Amino acid sequence: MKKYPGIPELLETYMQEQGTHERWVTVQELRERFGLTRYQCNTVSGFLRRLAYGPFGQFPYIVGGILREEGDNPSDPKRCRYFLKRRVLYPVGKEPIHGT
């Protein structure tokens, strides 16, 4: 968690405020909601991309997909939408057994 200080908590707070277990999220939405700096936005983006490859410790959300969107003008930066969804957390040693 040292690499992403406060970001898991920020995302969890955002999802709780939205009252949903899954939704498309942009870094810009998070920037506007929490007043993040550009540097912090780069870190949030990196964390969300990391979640697309698998869970992060006990963090209850994963990224189920990433959509790249073009800007209105060719010079506009590309933006990404991240499908953030709650994952099922099993107690240690209580994972479901396949075939039963």
* Residues 60 and 9: beta-carbon distance below 8 Å: no
Mean pLDDT of 52-69: 88
0.85 surpassed by pTM? no
29 vs 99 pLDDT, higher one? 29
Residue length, the chain?
Answer: 100
34 vs 58 pLDDT, higher one? 34
How much is the pLDDT for 32?
A: 95
How much is the pLDDT for 29?
A: 94
Give pLDDT tens digits for 16-50: 999 999 999 999 999 999 999 988 999 999 999 99
3-state secondary structure labels for all residues of the chain: CCCCCCHHHHHHHHHHHHCCCEEEEEHHHHHHHHCCCHHHHHHHHHHHHHHCCCCCCCCCEEEEEEEEECCCCCCCCCEEEEEEEECCCCCCCCCCCCCC
